[in-house]
């Protein structure tokens, strides 16, 4: 079976090296390498990839936003982040957005082929140093959530759906409530978090690890 791969990276040298790596394994077919993710949904519709490899730091639309868009429209399509960033914020944001794996570019040559196979088998491939950071995040996030008693369980679930990029209509369907009830809960979330928009609420959720 041929695995169709779609890549996004704005660095020409990286694009070339990734192309060579993909061509080295006959089981992988590189459909395209795009310099940014502005047309990501149209690209997926055109190329129908089995897996997407995504850079984080790109112009126009960054990788985290692109992953969120993909996950909202194609929730079963695995996306592996390929990046030079190994800081907690980028890792956390990418995983929350729906990334299925996270590889550092310095390890791509050794790990990329196995990572693609792993993610298609249902795994979550990560460079070792990233995996250690994720393990350290789990208890920290759990403790923060336990300490945060301001949001109700319903409000916390709705905030999580906002982070995942859900619209009010999608939240209403997911929670089995009306859109007016969604608006009421989101208004209460804004008041409790002291924010004024969904973007600010999502940003605060990431920053304060509220979900």
CATH of the domain at 163: 1.10.10.10
Which residues are CB-contacts of 6 (< 8 A; sequence separation ≥ 6)?
A: 31, 32, 34, 43, 44, 47, 49, 51, 52, 53
Q: Are 114 and 49 in the same domain?
A: yes
Between the alpha carbon of residue 174 and those of residues 88, 161, 182, 211, the distances in Å are: 29, 9, 11, 17
Whether residue 136 is contained in a domain is answered as no
Whether residue 138 is contained in a domain is answered as no
The residue from 89, 104, 128 where one domain ends is: 128
Whether residue 135 is contained in a domain is answered as no
Domain range holding 26?
A: 3-128
pTM above 0.75, yes or no: no
Q: Are 123 and 204 in the same domain?
A: no
pLDDT tens, per residue, the chain with 211 residues: 899 999 999 999 888 998 999 988 899 999 999 999 999 999 999 999 999 999 988 988 989 999 999 988 998 999 999 888 766 677 778 888 888 888 888 888 888 999 999 989 888 888 876 766 665 555 444 444 444 447 888 988 998 888 887 888 889 999 999 988 998 998 888 888 887 777 677 777 777 777 6
Rg of the chain taking only CA atoms, in angstroms: 18
Please give the full DSSP string across 140-156, using - where no structure is assigned.
HHHHHHHH--SS-HHHH
Give the 3-state secondary structure of residue 65: helix
Overall number of domains in the chain? 2
Q: Are 97 and 175 in the same domain?
A: no
């Amino acid at each position: 079976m041929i695995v169709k791969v779609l890549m996004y990276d704005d660095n020409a040298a990286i694009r070339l090296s990734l192309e060579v790596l993909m061509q080295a394994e006959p089981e992988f077919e590189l459909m395209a390498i795009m310099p940014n993710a502005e047309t990501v949904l149209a690209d997926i519709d055109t190329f129908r990839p089995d897996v997407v490899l995504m850079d984080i730091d790109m112009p126009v639309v960054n990788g985290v936003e692109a992953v969120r868009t993909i996950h909202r429209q194609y929730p079963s399509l695995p996306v592996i982040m390929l990046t030079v960033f190994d800081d907690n914020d980028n890792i956390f944001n990418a995983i929350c957005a729906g990334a299925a794996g996270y590889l550092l570019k310095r390890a791509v040559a050794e790990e990329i082929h196995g990572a693609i196979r792993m993610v298609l088998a249902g795994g979550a491939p990560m460079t070792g140093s990233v995996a250690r950071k994720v393990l350290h995040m789990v208890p920290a996030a759990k403790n923060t959530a336990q300490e945060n008693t301001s949001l109700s369980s319903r409000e916390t679930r709705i905030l999580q759906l906002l982070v995942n990029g859900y619209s009010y209509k999608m939240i209403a369907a997911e929670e089995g409530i009306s859109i007016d009830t969604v608006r009421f809960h989101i208004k209460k979330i804004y008041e409790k978090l002291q924010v004024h928009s969904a973007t600010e609420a999502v940003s605060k959720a990431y920053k304060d690890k509220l979900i």
